[in-house]
Structure 1
Amino acid sequence: MLSAFVRAFRTPDLRRKLLFTIGIMVVFRFGSFLPTPGVSYPNVQTCIDESANNDLLGLVNLFSGGALLQLSVFALGIMPYITASIIIQLLRVVIPKFEELHKEGQSGTARLTQYTRYLTIALAVLQSTTIITVARSGQLFTGCSVDVIPDDNWMTLVIMVLTMTAGTGLIMWLGELITERGVGNGMSLLIFTSIAASFPTAMWSIAGGANGAMKFTVVLAIIVLVIALVVFVEQSQRRVPVQYAKRMVGRKMYGGSSTYIPIKINMAGVIPVIFASSLLAVPGLIAQFADQTAGWVIWVQRYLVSQSSPLHIALYVLLIIFFCYFYTAITFNPDEVADNMKKYGGFIPGIRAGRPTAEYLDYVISRITAPGSIYLALVALIPTITFLVLGVGQNIPFGGSSILIVVGVGLETVKQIESQLQQRHYEGFLR
């Protein structure tokens, strides 16, 4: 990996792209600390030091690189865009028009991207309004003695909503700039930046506590083992062989080649973990606005919100497995793949083309998703359980989902750099 970056910086074109990407990341991190108009920055810092951690907003705060609790211009981070992308993808199953646009190619994809942008802005307005309301009510920083929004007249609140929404639009534009002019997928790299920025502070907080050196060493060893597991599984795939028959088109002979369909063990990525975390956060979010002495609120806080609760862990695992199957079924359509293979004269050796091929692919997907879902659940739980066993529950800065995203984006970016290096190598050879 290091040698790829060294060779990339020696190539003038790639060096410009890498420096441009790093520059956009710096701008993104600067916006994460720029206070929103109407927010008292000293009071926010006081509240962060005084208040207890809000587990419900932990996922959003993680994806914003800590900008949410800072109530900065980029407080919403990349989450509105992620949510909008997932919704548009799920709507392809429900709305036939969206599926038709997806099949149209580049023009249809451009239309779907435009719909995603509109939905992102709408979600940004909704989420910024919610966060400002929670901050005004004191629920964002539980136990804080000062107001983070001293002047909460309607004009100030409207400006705050517009500023946070504009920040989300700017993040979306920065991500698209990286995709067009930089290296890698822009949105993924911004998520990578947000999560990676919280690692050093979190590890330092663990090292600074009681028995800090021992806990730091154990946590670091667990993280290295989880990263090795993630790299191994993310690179693993089940290769279904495909043979294409020879056919005449005009005076030319096509086909006769052998290839394969690569089916990853973890086809759903980190989406099931995000879905499971979000769904488990809903009961706690509802309970926050109810009477805190009510019996059902105490039960929810004890068994559903607490990450050390056996019921919370069991539901978390079951939801991850369910969403892993659900999302894989949406993103991979065996019937469509079988039809495309049949159209171009392809078949799986030993399997008849058409419906039998679709059934075989469905069988393979269902079997390979089982270990993939268990792997996701293990990766999501190992860091959290480690932190709880070591007694650093209040300092849980990241979980398995964070490691999955960081490692996955890192691997994909390195692959793109190496492919561009190889392309330039061949170009130089041809000259």
Structure 2
Amino acid sequence: MKKLFTTLSNIWKIQELKERIVYTLMILLVYRFVSHAVLPGVDATLLGDNTKSGILGLLDMFAGGSFSRVSILALGVMPYISASIVVQLLGIAVPSFQKMQKEGESGRKKLNQITRYLTVAITAVQAIGYVKTQVPAEAIIIDHTLFFVLATFVLSAGTLFVMWLGEKITDKGIGNGISLIIMVGIIARLPIALSQEVSSRVVGEGGGLIALVLEIVALFAVVMFTIMIVQGVRKVPVQYAKRIVGNRQFGGVRQYIPLKVNAAGVMPIIFAQALMFIPATLTGFFPSLQNTWLIQFSDYTSLAYSLTFAFLIIAFTFFYTAITVNPTQMSDDMKKNGGFIPGIKPGLSTSSFIDDVISKITFPGAIFLAIIAILPSIAVKFGIKSEFAHFYGGTSLLILVGVVLDTLQQIESYLLMRHYDGLMKTGRVTGRTGIPAASGSNAVI
């Protein structure tokens, strides 16, 4: 405990780090304050119970409740994330985008500019859909045509404002701005969810304090398990040839390639979740399908939903790892720098060896990721309230763990540069080395 307080005091002694932390907290406070501003022309008292479920509930969670409050920031950063994913996938499939990725800083700026323009287009489309389908007609107190035009522009401006706040945090604060904004939106739901869970356990016949303590212990164990998956790496040894240049020796040392157990990050869950919402969308548009087998996929706690969801996550984990991790490129780069894996011939043999290692560690990583994803449905089966059960796994928990580790890594780097002890007594916070959802410094999740 004494070391913890010493570390916190050391953080406050570094002027630049202190200013960055204060700046980040102020920007996040501004975001939370503005997120409670309701769209002009809407009477908040007439919204009633506007809670969302399914994919809309997921969007509402990422937006910190702004989606259901009909806030000016209702769309949050989701259009930006969608645009970032599209640009990233184009960078894998389109040669011109691949060329920009290899152009360094200039290419990164071009890709970021394309991402911004695409964000504006996606935001405009989503704003129109949101106004048409999610704003209760009885809550609109001005002319509906005027409200439709006004709300579309305001929602688009709100998303651009959130994106600007995120970029300001990345440039002048600590951590990744967009990721921190998403994390704050998720954490904002925790007090309400926790209070509901406490009330359900303590008041009435919910099991009392013992059941509540067991839930907290289980949540702690799940978080530790998630950290283990996010941090897990397989170190492949690489030996570099010794070179003598003048009177100095270069190379001749052994290093490691850290291959992550979960190289795909949170993306397989996002892709799988998008597909799992298709049956619910179809039954919503075509009521006649509600009496068919598709209705099973409207309940995320059902066995059919969980098994299908887990299978899709495993499949997408292999797919996303295959398109983002290139063993041939790694082998070529190693060969150019005079490096080799002990006992493995450079070139094709090295590429095949790395590919084999990635295949072996991806399978357990995919299984563990699928388990984390379906834990909320298992928690609901054990009597935990749905709102609180979302913190037991899924996209929200992976984002929380990843963002916290990433931010702690940056703080630790400041401490170590000033010759202070790091946050950990032994070892270092390694943070995330992947999970990009955009090109450049504004990569999220």
Deviations 1:305-332 (A, max 9, x none): 1012211111110111111111111221
CA contact (8 A) 2:196 2:385 kept: no
Q: For structure 1, which segment, 214-223 or 355-364, has the greater mean C-alpha deviation from structure 2 after superposition?
A: 214-223
Q: CA deviation at 1:233?
A: 2.4
Distance in 2 separating the partners of 1:232 and 1:183? 24
The yes-or-no answer on 1:37 pairing with 2:40 is: yes
Distance in 2 separating the partners of 1:370 and 1:39? 50
Q: Return the letter of the residue paired with 1:153.
A: H
The yes-or-no answer on 1:284 pairing with 2:275 is: no
Partner of 1:268, secondary structure, is coil
Distance in 1 separating the partners of 2:205 and 2:264? 38
Q: Which residue of the partner structure matches residue 322 of structure 2?
A: 329
The yes-or-no answer on 1:316 pairing with 2:318 is: no
- Which residue of the other structure, out of 365, 370, 377, is the alignment partner of 2:370? 377
Q: CA deviation at 1:15?
A: 0.9
Distance in 2 separating the partners of 1:109 and 1:249? 34
Q: CA RMSD in A?
A: 2.1
The yes-or-no answer on 1:180 pairing with 2:171 is: yes
The yes-or-no answer on 1:403 pairing with 2:406 is: no
Q: Which residue of the partner structure matches residue 212 of structure 2?
A: 216
Deviations 1:337-384 (A, max 9, x none): 111111111111111111111111111111101111111111112233
Q: Which residue of the partner structure matches residue 153 of structure 2?
A: 162
Summarize the alignment of residues 28-427 of structure 1 with structure 2, pairs less than 5 Å apart: 28-44=31-47, 46-48=48-50, 53-136=52-135, 147-151=138-142, 153-209=144-200, 210-212=204-206, 213-214=208-209, 216-247=212-243, 253-290=249-286, 292=287, 294=288, 296-299=289-292, 302-390=295-383, 392-393=385-386, 396-400=389-393, 401-425=395-419
CA contact (8 A) 2:238 2:256 kept: yes
Distance in 1 separating the partners of 2:260 and 2:197? 35
Q: Return the letter of the residue paired with 1:130.
A: G
Aligned length: 411
Q: CA deviation at 1:83?
A: 1.4
Identity of aligned residues (%): 39
Q: Return the letter of the residue paired with 2:150.
A: I
1:216/1:42 Cα in 2 relative to 1: closer, same or farther (>3 Å)? farther
Q: CA deviation at 1:159?
A: 1.2
Distance in 2 separating the partners of 1:68 and 1:178? 23
Partner of 1:75, secondary structure, is coil
CA contact (8 A) 2:11 2:415 kept: yes
Partner of 1:241, secondary structure, is strand
Q: CA deviation at 1:39?
A: 2.1
Q: CA deviation at 1:395?
A: 6.3
Q: Normalising to structure 2: TM-score of the pair?
A: 0.87
Distance in 1 separating the partners of 2:8 and 2:119? 33
CA contact (8 A) 2:38 2:69 kept: yes
1:395/1:345 Cα in 2 relative to 1: closer, same or farther (>3 Å)? closer
Q: CA deviation at 1:36?
A: 1.3
CA contact (8 A) 1:270 1:405 kept: yes
Deviations 1:103-134 (A, max 9, x none): 11111111111111111111111111111111
CA contact (8 A) 1:198 1:397 kept: no
Distance in 1 separating the partners of 2:374 and 2:170? 32
1:341/1:31 Cα in 2 relative to 1: closer, same or farther (>3 Å)? same
Q: Normalising to structure 1: TM-score of the pair?
A: 0.90
CA contact (8 A) 1:384 1:399 kept: no
Deviations 1:268-304 (A, max 9, x none): 11111111112111221232122x3x1x223366311
CA contact (8 A) 1:241 1:348 kept: yes
Q: Return the letter of the residue paired with 1:179.
A: T
